[in-house]
Amino acid sequence: MNLNKSNHWLFALMMLLLVAIGIGIGVSVGSSGLESLQNAWHDDVAWQIIWQIRLPRTLGAFAAGALLGLAGALAQGLFRNPLADPYLLGSASGATLGVALALAFYGGNQFAPDAFVRVGLTGAAFAGALLAVVLTLLLAKGVQHTMRLLLAGVIVGVVMGAMASLIALMRPDVLQNMQGFLLGSTAFIGWSACLVMVYVLLPCLCLAWFFGFAMDALSLGESTALSLGVPLRAMRIVVVLLVALATGAAVAQTGLIAFVGLAAPHLVRSIVSVKNRSLVLLSALMGGLLLLVADILARSVIAPQELPVGVLTAVLGGGYLLWLMYRNQNQGGLR
CA distance 73 to 264: 8
Given a contact cutoff of 8 angstroms between Cβ atoms, the answer to whether 262 and 270 are in contact is: no
Residue 313 backbone zone (phi > 0: left; psi -120 to 50: alpha; other: beta): alpha
| pLDDT tens readout for residues 19-54 | 999 998 888 876 555 545 555 555 566 677 788 888
Q: Read off the amino acid at residue 55.
A: L
Concatenated DSSP letters for 165-186? HHHHHH-HHHHHHHHHHHH---
Query: Residues with Cβ < 8 Å from 186, sequence gap 6 or more?
Result: 57, 60, 61, 64, 254, 291, 295, 298, 309
203, burial (CB in 10 Å: exposed 0-12, middle 13-18, buried 19+): exposed
> Which of these ranges, 103-112, 160-169, 256-265, has the smallest mean pLDDT?
103-112
Mean per-residue pLDDT over the chain, rounded: 81
**How many helices (H) and strands (E) would you count in the chain?**
15, 0
Query: Residues with Cβ < 8 Å from 158, sequence gap 6 or more?
Result: 93
Helix axes 232-254, 212-219, angle to 10 degrees: 110
**288 or 33: which leads in pLDDT:** 288
CA distance 103 to 193: 20
- Provide the 10 A C-beta neighbour count for residue 280: 29
| pLDDT tens readout for residues 298-316 | 888 877 778 888 888 888 8
Angle at the Cα of 94 from the Cα atoms of 212 and 201, rounded to 5 degrees: 35
C-alpha torsion 150→155→160→166, nearest 10 = 150
| pLDDT tens readout for residues 42-85 | 556 667 778 888 889 999 999 999 999 999 999 988 888 887 88
pLDDT at 144: 73
pLDDT at residue 100 is higher than 90: no
Could you give all domains of the chain from N- to C-terminal order, each with its CATH number?
5-327 (1.10.3470.10)
